[in-house]
Amino acid sequence: MSPYFFNLLDQENLEFDQVFTDNQHLAKAGNIPCIDEDLASFFHKQKKLKTWLFILDQLSLQDILPFADEYCEKYCIIDARTWVSSFGKKLSPELNYLDSLLSDAIFPFDENHFIQALKSETSCVIFLTDQEVPENIYASHAEEQLQIVDKALVEQPQFLSLLSPENPSLFLIGTGNHLEELIKLSQFLAVHEEKIALGVIGNLSVLKSPELQQHFLSAKKIGILIDHSPTNFFSAFFPPNKESILITPKYQKLTSLSPDWAFTQTEFDAEALVKRVLAFVD
């Protein structure tokens, strides 16, 4: 997150009754309150308004959600915790943050999807990563090989099907905030003889859609690639008696403060994920 974000809010005519952040530099740049004291004391001083926006860089969802539910009618939480700022905390996946989440979880593919989430009429949590959020789904860094995404995929803004063989041995689901690595992963998996399907979700609720449920039924196994502690949470989205696996970053291997190395060192980059995924295929 940067001061550019506040310009984006103005350009899109997005208004919130109150905006908070726990990042001192962002608070100063945007002239907004910084959450820098005991949470109970901080929120006790705030007026109960209709809409609140939180930009989190250090605090976790478990810290903020109780106060958001109590003090405002609608909230939008941007979880911008980076690998660097959370270094020291990120020795394991991001806890079980989805287990207690009552609002929808948004994993934006690009800036357009990000803005749509901010305009949501209901409470939501938007998850970002260190990967730069492109202006559109076709964007790619100049120094990298161009990543091709069929225009037809973009017409389904909440679910992108990157690989879709019939009756796959494994149906993989990734999240939109990791789209860059997942597109690369699809290109690696496409050259293997194993029948592996790969889709990307833009929000959590789409897992219950009839389209995805049909995909799950046709696969032998279901896998999800996400920064989340292993729990029974995801079993509620999958058909009964269907074997499922959870692949998460290996934070115990993170030794660098550079975000450029985070995906590689935690074995959550495309190259490492290929090996981890193939290990689960019969």
The whole-number mean pLDDT for each consecutive block of 10 residues of the chain, a chain of 282 residues, reads: 76 90 87 91 87 86 85 88 53 64 82 86 82 46 46 62 92 90 92 92 90 91 86 84 88 71 85 92 74
Distances (CA, A) of 124 to 120, 176, 181, 188, 225: 8, 15, 24, 33, 21
User: Do β-strands 170-175 and 124-127 pair in parallel, antiparallel, or remain unpaired?
Assistant: unpaired
In 3-state terms, what secondary structure has residue 151? helix
Distances (CA, A) of 211 to 109, 119, 206: 19, 25, 9
- Beta carbons within 8 Å of 214's beta carbon, 6+ residues apart: none
Q: How far apart are CA 209 and CA 180, in angstroms?
A: 24
| Residue that is written with structure tokens 């860059």 in the block | 180
The pLDDT value recorded for residue 20 is: 93
pTM exceeds 0.85, yes or no? no
Structure tokens at 207: 């897992």
The pLDDT value recorded for residue 145 is: 44
